[in-house]
Structures are given as C-alpha cells and as structure tokens.
Structure 1
Amino acid sequence: MLSDRYPRMYELFGAYFNQDFDLWGDTIPEIASCYKRDSPPDYHQEIINEINLFMNEHPGDLDSAFERDYGPGFNPELWGHTTASFLEELKRLFSDS
C-alpha cells in the first residue's frame, strides 16, 4: 500500500498535488512551500528519501509507475515537466531550508 511504503509522498500528492491544488498555490514552489510550512522539518528529508527510493525502484518505468500510483490526481506534463524533472524539482524544493 502506498501510504505504508511512501507515506510522505502519499500525503503530498493526496492532499496538496491533487485536483484541489489551487487551495495551496498556483505553482509547484508555492504548493511545496505550503506543505513545508504545514509539516515537521524531518518530513522534508523523508520526502526526498522516498522520491529517491521511488526513482531507484522504477528506472525503466518511472512514467508508468508514477501514473499508476499518483496519476489520477496529478499529471506533471500539465505543469511543463516530465515525471523525472518534476520529482527532481520537488527534491530541490524540499532540500532548500
């Protein structure tokens, strides 16, 4: 189950990057900033770790794995990103203090 394997990603995509994203902001940095503000600082490193794990587990099928697990509520292409570039952007945003 995603909530057990990737609890921070599950939370981030389930609550912030979903069809109601505009409650949190209009850009990826704005939405990530809201999550950072609303969550404990150790969660930020956990998200980075989970993204790295997810990317390492799906080197040849990252797009389809992301679509399967998070696609119903969020599509990186609609934001001008590939799955990989979107996840890299999140890692960058969450590594900024």
Structure 2
Amino acid sequence: MKYFNLDQLIGGYFNEDFDYWGNTIEELVRACASGGTPEMINATVAEIDQFKSDHAGNLDAAFEENFGGQFDPALWGHTAESFLDELKRLLLSE
C-alpha cells in the first residue's frame, strides 16, 4: 500500500471504535503517536504530503476512494484537505 502509515492512522484510530482511543481528533492522533516511533510519525507526515500532491485536483474523491469505507471527515466538520492538514499539524506537534 502506497500510504501504509496514513492508512494505519485512519483505519486504526478513526473507525467505528474510535471512542476507545479518544473523542477528538487530537486525542486520536495522540493515541496513535504515543504508540509509534519518530520515524513512523515522520513517514505519516510525508504520506499526507504525498497523498495531497498525488491527488491535488481531486482530493475529496481520492480520500473517499482510499479511506471512505473507514472514515468520513465531514462527520467531524472537515473536508479531506482540512482533515489531512489537521492530522499533519497534530503529528508535528507530538
């Protein structure tokens, strides 16, 4: 999978059982980052940048295609772009 770490973050923490890890995006990212290495966090940030670059003209559709079965950022008040930007911001602050 091209976006392995990003898929692990979204699929592992932003799923139907998300409340096991937390109730906010910040809490879920913190839970993921606390179990990862700095290399994993950096790889996830790089994958966010790569995903946005790879799908610049159709980010929402690409997000839906890649992660829509697991998560919908609109349910959390975000677009695909604003959600990815928030993930990146939070990961970099860990």
Q: For 1:32 and 1:65, how far apart are their aligned partners in 2?
A: 21
State the partner residue of 2:67. Answer: 70
Query: What is the TM-score normalised by the length of structure 1?
Result: 0.93
Q: Which residue of 2 aligns with 1:33?
A: 30
Contact 2:13 2:32 in 1 (8 A): yes
TM-score under structure 2 length normalisation? 0.96
Stretches of 4+ moved more than 3 A in 1?
none
- Structure 2: state its 5+ residue gaps: none
Deviation at 1:14, TM superposition (A): 1.6
How far did residue 40 of structure 1 move?
A: 1.1
Aligned to 2:10: 13
Deviations 1:59-90 (A, max 9, x none): 11100100011011111011011110000000
Count of paired positions: 94
CA distance in 1, matches of 2:55, 2:16: 25
Q: In structure 1, how many angstroms separate the alpha carbons of the residues matched to 2:61 and 2:9?
A: 19
Uncovered stretches (5+) of structure 1, i.e. residues with no partner:
none
